[in-house]
Amino acid sequence: MHDAHSAQDWRAWFAENGARLRLIARQWTRSEADADDVVQEAFVRFWKHQRHLPGNPNALVVTSIRRSALDLLRRSDRRASREKIVGDDMDTVGWFEPEADPRLAALAESLKLLPAEQREVVVLKVWGDLTFDEIGEQLSISPNTAASRWRYAMEALRRNITARTHD
Amino acid sequence: MTDPDHDLEQALRALRPRPPGPAVAARIDAELAVPAARRGVVIAWSAGFAAAAAALAAFVFLAEPVEPAAPAYQLVRADRSRPEVQLFRPVELADGSYARPVRVRWEDTTRWEDARTQTHLIDYRPNDRLTLLPLETH
């Protein structure tokens, strides 16, 4: 990944990193459209105001995404309570490109079935490129808790894909 | 012996997240193209602090742009963007006093032209200056 500190062209940086940013946003939002909105808002804030700040740019952009996603959830909750609308296409649209390999396809589906607290650790470690220390800071948990959630998630994923590929 | 968690992590990394749609890039492009004058620079901490930040920005804005030598080309234009001011939370210094970090960013663009070959040379320089403004505490 190119370093956002020195990158001048946002298009090149976004083309390289947009998909993983969107996945990070997607697991904290209720719909594909919400994920796009969060990525847009978070990326613009990161690029204009935060990419030159010291520290790991991955952690900075993840912080920006989490902040936008939480803001959107709060706004959506208020709107839903007023309008009694529930819009959640969590299970209708894939988070990943279709995979021909059945094991990878099972893995993609299994990821969505994880408890949210385990899934966010997996997403932040694999696609956010964060350490357990950095994940702990993002989620306000200890690094040991982040590592435990990771281990539980790995066990669950292994069980799930083994069961699915034997069906 | 292979680590099963490592193998699973590698398999996860092989998954390809869906990229954002082209509409997202278009909306980002529109937002990042907004002129600096419309950017939400909020300077509302205090009258004294706002004046200090403005003085720092004015110093940067009014200073002479650096024009690198380019003997093969004729200078046709030198521009300096409006500075963008970013304020941070106050920090405690080693001597026990407090100061507020202020970052000012601006861009210098200098353009030369060779009339014979109809070619241009453009020097673009982003600048970034971080300054501490002392704060008085009572």
For residues A21 and A39, what is the distance between their CA atoms, to the nearest angstrom? 7
CATH of domain A1-95: 1.10.1740
Q: Does the pLDDT value for residue A167 go beyond 80?
A: no
pLDDT, residue A132, reads: 95
- Least Cα distance to A143 among A155, A125, A158 occurs for A125
What is residue B127's predicted lDDT score, i.e. its pLDDT? 86
Angle between helices A116-126 and B4-14 (to 10 degrees): 80
Q: Do the beta carbons of residue B101 and residue B129 sit within 8 Å?
A: no
Contact list, A43 vs chain B (CB under 8 Å): 28
Nearest CA of chain B to the CA of A77: how many Å?
Answer: 24
Of the partner residues B16, B29, B31, the one whose CB lies closest to the CB of residue A97:
B16
Q: Min CA distance, A21 vs chain B (Å)?
A: 9
Q: In this predicted model, what pLDDT tens digit does every residue of B11-47 receive, in sequence order?
A: 999 999 999 888 888 999 888 885 544 444 444 445 5
ipTM (interface predicted TM): 0.82
State the pLDDT at residue A87: 43
Q: How far apart are CA B78 and CA B66, in angstroms?
A: 9
- A4-8, B55-59, B84-88: least confidently modelled range: A4-8
* 3-state secondary structure string across A21-82: HHHHHHCCCCCHHHHHHHHHHHHHHHHHHHCCCCCCHHHHHHHHHHHHHHHHHHHHHHHHHH
- Distances from the Cα of B117 to the Cα of B78, B99, B110, B124, angstroms: 21, 53, 19, 21
Query: What's the rounded Cα separation, in Å, for the pair B138 and B136?
Result: 7
Chain A residues within an 8 Å CB radius of B105: 52
Q: How far apart are CA B77 and CA B122, in angstroms?
A: 9
pLDDT score, position B46: 53
Q: What is the rounded average pLDDT of the residues A56-74?
A: 90
What are the sequence ranges of the domains in chain A? Answer: 1-95, 97-167
* Pairs across A and B, CB distance < 8 A: 87
Question: Torsion-angle region of residue A121: left (phi > 0), alpha (psi -120 to 50) or beta?
Answer: alpha
Q: Tell me the C-alpha distance between A116 and A120, whole Å.
A: 6
Q: How far is B84 from chain A (nearest CA, A)?
A: 9
pLDDT band at A146 (very low <50, low <70, confident <90, very high): very high
**What's the pLDDT score for residue B110?**
84
Tell me which chain A residues have a C-beta less than 8 angstroms from the C-beta of B21.
36
The more confidently predicted of residues B38 and A126 is A126
More confidently predicted of A80 and A11:
A11
Q: Which residue has the higher pLDDT, A126 or B39?
A: A126
Q: What is the residue extent of each domain of chain B?
A: 39-135
Q: How far, in Å, CA of B86 to CA of B101, rounded?
A: 9
Angle ∠(A4,A129,B7) on CA atoms, nearest 5: 145
Q: What percent of chain A has pLDDT over 90?
A: 46
Interface test with B, best of A48, A122, A150 (most B CBs within 10 A): A48
Over residues B98-122, mean pLDDT: 83
- The number of helix segments (H) and strand segments (E) in chain A equals 7, 0
**Residue A95 with chain B: CB contacts under 8 Å:** 17-18
Residues B16, A96: C-beta atoms closer than 8 Å: yes
Q: Residue A88: is its pLDDT beyond 60?
A: no
Q: For the segment B34-81, what is each residue's pLDDT rounded down to a tens digit? A: 554 444 444 444 556 667 767 777 766 666 665 555 556 777 788 888
- Residue A29, pLDDT > 70, answer yes
And the tokens for A76?
Answer: 């959506």
Candidates A48, A74, A71; CA nearest to A61 is A48
β-strand partners of B131: B102
CATH of A97-167, one of 3.10.129.10, 3.40.50.720, 3.40.50.2300, 1.10.10.10: 1.10.10.10
Computed over every residue of chain A, the mean pLDDT equals 84
Using an 8 Å CB-CB cutoff, list chain B residues near A96.
15-18
